[in-house]
């Protein structure tokens, strides 16, 4: 076994394994010995007798390259594996141990495809930082065992698959800090600097870096950020506020990054989120300059960056989010805090109607909407949990003019404008 994979299998039977089924994680553990009869974990109980299962865990020998490899591996598996392999996202972690999350994939295959699978796995294992496990079923179908694939024939390397309790929060929460959400300009820049050789555009982004701004400096004029899911009316409201208040309108990511945004949107979370984080600091510098002259309205800022990142990293219901008050919701100490954040909310039907009217609704398939509902709930809840500047939720369902009037009242009350 390659040296860098060894830390992963140390404390192997203390690890919990998680597989995403129907948009939410299900868990199992592994034990050397079985004590009494155990119920088969949900991942396995739904399998057929002829199914063979495999997992690939990507060892983070370098978190940026590791995440990029993990990201690209999904496409490779979907392309190379036979139809019906049902590739699912998988992870393994040590309960409550920060930074212990290892990402990977789980898939099944039918016995007749074994030669093809063996070829794919053998190539992967030899050239890439992956640990391959295979799972086999006992004769009576009551038990599954997990082995390191290259050791599958050795009896002593087999572990029984057993149920495991769900952790209090989604395992992704263990590795979120400075991987999904960045808490300083230095941390975000560090990631971008390290991917300069794989993404040449990074050099151009880094050239836009702001000069250091004193995050504690109080702006002369109020700074109001408008937040919310797409189509909640941010553009409409921010433009009206600009006109009514004679304010400067800024956005994050700033205009100067728009050429590269689509490029970074294609990258895995660690790189994509670092790009958006840097965007907030560039906007912060613009805020500092403009707020010396007039009120400033900002269309999206750090709330968006953090809430979308947290809500994307976890799956399933809102209860899977890191708990309210968790450090992941804390505002970066080196980032300027606005005077007020207004969070626009809208009931899902009206939001869908507005999206349709705008002509950007791509699909309304039932299942897609179901998944989106959980995602929308997570983003909105993450928005609400962010600790930092005053954030007030406003119902955006009345007419555009009524929403404007209500937000103006709020600004006058809270920012003394
Ligand atoms: N209060 C409102 N009542 C009815 N329609 C509205 C209201 N506010 C905005 N709209 C309409 O809803 C659609 C979405 O609004 P807008 O583009 O302002 O949202 P947004 O939050 O900026 O979206 P995105 O984040 O996707 O850019 C537009 O067609 C807009 O004209
Ligand atoms: N400051 C920001 C602004 C946007 N994002 C991300 C979050 C979403 O993935 C997407 C939404 O932007 P829109 O489509 O409404 O332009 O961009 C962010 O992370 N930080």
- Evaluate the omega torsion of the peptide bond into residue 208 and state whether it is cis, within 30 degrees of 0: no
Mean pLDDT for the chain? 91
Ligand 2 atom with the smallest distance to the CA of 273 is 19
**Rounded to whole angstroms, how far apart are CA atoms 109 and 112?**
8
Torsions phi, psi for 253 (to 5 deg): -65, 150
pTM assigned to the model: 0.94
The best mutation among 226, 227, 235 to test binding of ligand 1, ranked by most ligand atoms within 8 Å of the C-beta, falls on 235
**Rounded to whole angstroms, how far apart are CA atoms 184 and 189?**
9
pLDDT in tens, 363-394: 444 455 556 889 999 999 999 999 999 999 99
Which residue lies with its CA nearest to atom 14 of ligand 1? 231
Measured from CB, residues less than 6 Å from any atom of ligand 2 are 230, 252-253, 276, 279-280, 300-301, 304-305, 308
Which residue lies with its CA nearest to atom 5 of ligand 2? 305
pLDDT in tens, 283-306: 999 999 999 999 999 999 999 999
pLDDT in tens, 86-102: 999 999 999 999 999 99
* ipTM (interface pTM): 0.99
pLDDT in tens, 18-76: 999 988 899 999 999 888 777 889 899 888 888 889 999 998 778 898 999 999 999 99
The reported pLDDT for the residue numbered 45 is: 87
């Amino acid at each position: 076994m390659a040296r860098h994979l060894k830390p992963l299998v140390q404390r192997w039977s203390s690890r919990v394994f998680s597989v995403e089924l129907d948009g939410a994680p299900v868990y199992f553990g592994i034990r050397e010995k079985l004590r009494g009869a155990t119920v088969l974990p949900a991942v396995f109980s739904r399998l057929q007798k002829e199914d063979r299962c495999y997992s690939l865990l990507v060892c983070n020998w370098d978190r940026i390259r590791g995440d990029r490899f993990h990201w690209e591996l999904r496409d490779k598996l979907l392309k190379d594996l036979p139809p019906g392999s049902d590739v699912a996202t998988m992870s393994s972690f040590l309960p409550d141990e920060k930074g212990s999350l290892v990402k990977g994939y789980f898939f099944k295959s039918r016995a007749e495809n074994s030669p093809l699978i063996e070829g794919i796995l053998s190539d992967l294992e030899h050239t890439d930082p992956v640990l391959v496990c295979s799972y086999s079923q006992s004769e009576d179908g009551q038990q599954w065992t997990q082995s390191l694939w290259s050791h599958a024939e050795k009896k002593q390397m087999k572990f029984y698959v057993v149920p495991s309790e769900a952790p209090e929060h989604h395992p992704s929460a263990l590795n979120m800090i400075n991987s999904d959400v960045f808490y300083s300009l230095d941390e975000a820049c560090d990631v971008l600097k390290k991917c300069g050789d794989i993404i040449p555009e990074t050099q151009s982004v880094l050239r836009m870096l702001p000069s250091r701004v004193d995050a504690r400096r109080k702006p002369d004029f109020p700074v109001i950020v408008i937040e919310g899911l797409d189509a909640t009316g941010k553009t409409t409201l921010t433009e009206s506020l600009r006109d009514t208040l004679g304010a400067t309108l800024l956005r994050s990511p700033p205009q100067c990054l728009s050429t590269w945004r689509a490029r970074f949107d294609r990258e895995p979370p660690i790189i994509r989120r670092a790009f958006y984080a840097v965007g907030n600091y560039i906007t912060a510098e613009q805020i500092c300059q403009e707020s010396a002259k007039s009120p400033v309205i900002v269309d999206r800022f750090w709330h968006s960056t953090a809430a979308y990142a947290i809500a994307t990293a976890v799956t399933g219901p809102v209860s899977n989010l890191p708990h309210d008050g968790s450090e992941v919701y804390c505002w970066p100490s080196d980032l300027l805090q606005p005077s007020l954040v207004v969070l626009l909310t809208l009931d899902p039907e009206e939001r869908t109607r507005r999206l349709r009217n705008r002509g950007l609704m791509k699909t309304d398939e039932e299942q897609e909407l179901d998944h989106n509902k959980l995602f929308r709930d997570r983003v909105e809840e993450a928005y609400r949990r962010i600790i930092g500047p005053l954030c007030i939720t406003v119902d955006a369902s009345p007419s555009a003019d009524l929403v404007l009037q209500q937000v103006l009242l709020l600004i006058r009350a809270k920012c003394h404008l």
